[in-house]
Amino acid sequence: MPKPIIINNTIKKFDKKIKIEGDKSLSIRFALLASQAMGKSKAYNLLKSEDVISTINCLKKLGVKIQWNKKKNYCEINGNGLDSYVYKKNLTLNGNNSATCVRLLTSLLIGSPEKIKIIGDRSLKKRDMKRIIDPLTEFGATFYPKNKNNLPFHIKGSNYLTPINYVELKGSSQCKSSVMLAALLTNGETKLKCKPSRNHTELLFKYLKIPIKIKKIKNFEIIKIKGRQNIKAFNYNIPSDISSSAFFIVLTLLSNNSKLILENVGVNKSRAGVINILNKMGAKIVLKNKKNYKGEEIADIHVRSSKSLKSINCSSKLNTSAIDEFLIIFLAAAKAKGVSYFKNLEELNKKESRRLDWGSKILRMMGVKNKLIGNHGIKIWGQPNLKLNNKYEIKNYLRDHRVMAMSTIAALTLGGKWKIHNPESIKTSFPSFFKILQKDLGSKINI
Ligand code: S3P
C-alpha cells in the first residue's frame, strides 16, 4: 500500500512559469482516431497518465501497432483504417479508472464479430454505462448480460449497423463522442441533438475532414455525421490540460503575493469555464499569446494571488465547461466573501467519486458552512480570513484524483496538519502534480 502524504506547511510565495502535462481528453481522442486512420499518426506531448495508458493498452490488444517514445515525447500509432481492429476470441479490455476510455472505445467495437469483455476498477464499475449502451444498441451492437447498466459487460458487434437519430440531454461529451465515433463505422448519416459540452471530438472531425455538420438551435446543437469515410493519418501537438492547470490557478489565487504563468494551455471555450467562473469571482486571470491550433484555442495563463475573491451565483450554463473543476472552484468559494451557489450539478455525483458530496464533506471538515441542495446543488458560506489549525485526514474516496488534488491545494494554502491517503491516485490524470509542487514551486510535502 503506498503511504499517505503529510502536509504541515503552507506554500511560500512564488513567481514562476510552469508547464502542465498534455490534455487528457485530447490524448485519448487522438489515440482512438489515429487507430481508425490509415497510416502512421504521431502525437507530441501525449499525456503519460494511467487513463491514457489504459486506452493505449486496449488498442494494442486490438492489434493496433503503437510506439510510444517517452524520451522524445511522441507516440506513433499505425492505424489500418476504419473498423480494422483484430478481434481475438475471449478478449478482455481493461479501462481501469477511465470512463472516457471505456465510453469512447466501446463505440469503436460495434463491428466486432467476437464477444469482448470490458472491465474496470472499483470506481469505474460504479459509473453509469446505460448512457452508451442505449445508443450503441440502436446502432446494432448487443450487450451482455441484458439490462446491466455498468461494468463488467460484454459487447458483440454486428455486420448490419445502421445510422441513428439520438438525443443527448445530459450535456455529456462522453455520450456525444461515443455516438459520433460509432457513426464513423456506419453507412449513412447519424443525427445527434445534444446539450452543449466540450467539443474536442467535433473539432478533430472537422480537422480530419470527416463529413460533419453542426448547427445551433436554441440551447441545443444538431450534429450530422456521414459514416464510412476514410481518415488520413495525422500529427498533433497536445496542449496542456486546463483541468490539471486549474489546481495551480487556485493554488496561486489562495497563496500570498504569488504569480504564476502556465504555458500553452488548451482554453477552448467549451472547456475552460473555470477561468470564466473564477474571474466572475474577482480573480484576474489573463490569457496571453493566444493561438488557434487545428481548431483548438491555446494560450498562456497568467494568474496572481487574490485578496478579494467574492461569492458567485453560478449560472448552470457554465456547468459543462467546468465539469471537472468544481471541487477546486468550491475551495475558492470557501475563501470568497459571501454565499456562493452552484446548481444543476447532478452529474458531479456520477464522476470517479461522488464529488458533490466530497466537496461538501471536505469543506465541512475545514469548518466551512455549506448546504447540499438535493442531489444537484451546494451553497457555500465563504470565509475570506479562513485559516486552518486542526488535523485533517482524507481517505476512502475511491482514489478520485481530483479529490486528492483539491485536498492537497487546501492543505498548501489554508494551513493545518493534513494526512492524505492514496496520493498515487493522481497518476490517472496528472503524474507530475507533486513534482511541480515540490521542485518548481518549493512546497514542503512529505511523500
Ligand atoms: C470527458 C468528459 C467529461 C469529463 C471527463 C472527460 C471527455 O465527462 O468529466 O473527465 O473527455 O469527454 P462527461 O462527458 O460524462 O461529462
> Quick one: CA dihedral 27, 32, 37, 38, positive or negative?
positive
Nearest CA to ligand 1 atom 15: 172
How far apart are the C-alpha atoms of 24 and 32, rounded to whole Å? 12
pLDDT digits (tens, 9 = 90+) for 209-218: 999 999 999 9
Distance 334 CA to ligand 1 centre (A): 25
Reply yes or no on whether 440 is catalytic: no
Please say whether the beta carbons of 362 and 410 come within 8 A. Answer: yes
pLDDT digits (tens, 9 = 90+) for 286-307: 999 999 999 999 999 999 999 8
Averaged confidence pLDDT in the chain: 97
Indicate whether residue 202 lines ligand 1 (CB < 6 A): no
Residue 332 pLDDT:
98
Q: Tell whether pTM > 0.95.
A: yes
As a whole number, mean pLDDT of residues 229-252 equals 98
pLDDT digits (tens, 9 = 90+) for 311-366: 999 999 999 999 999 999 999 999 999 999 999 999 999 999 999 999 999 999 99
Residue 1 pLDDT:
63
Indicate whether residue 45 lines ligand 1 (CB < 6 A): no
Pairing of strands 212-217, 220-226: antiparallel
> Does 256 score more than 90 pLDDT?
yes
> Does 98 score more than 90 pLDDT?
yes
pLDDT digits (tens, 9 = 90+) for 23-64: 999 999 999 999 999 999 999 999 999 999 999 999 999 999
> Does 440 score more than 70 pLDDT?
yes
pLDDT digits (tens, 9 = 90+) for 200-210: 999 999 999 99
> Does 149 score more than 80 pLDDT?
yes
Q: Which atom of ligand 1 is nearest to the CA of 104?
A: 12
For the record, the C-alpha cell of 14 comes out as 512564488
Question: 425 by DSSP, 3-state: which?
Answer: helix
Q: Which of 170, 172, 241 to mutate to test the pocket of ligand 1 (most atoms within 8 A of CB)?
A: 172
Residue 447 pLDDT:
87
How far apart are the C-alpha atoms of 401 and 97, rounded to whole Å? 10
Query: Nearest-CA neighbor of 170 among 344, 367, 375?
Result: 344
pLDDT digits (tens, 9 = 90+) for 357-403: 999 999 999 999 999 999 999 999 999 999 999 999 999 999 999 99
Distance 89 CA to ligand 1 centre (A): 31
Please say whether the beta carbons of 281 and 253 come within 8 A. Answer: no
Please say whether the beta carbons of 413 and 254 come within 8 A. Answer: yes
Distance 142 CA to ligand 1 centre (A): 24
How far apart are the C-alpha atoms of 148 and 47, rounded to whole Å? 32
Q: Residue 39: what residue type?
A: G
Nearest CA to ligand 1 atom 4: 324
**Cβ-based neighbour number of residue 80 at 10 Å:** 16
Residue 71 pLDDT:
85
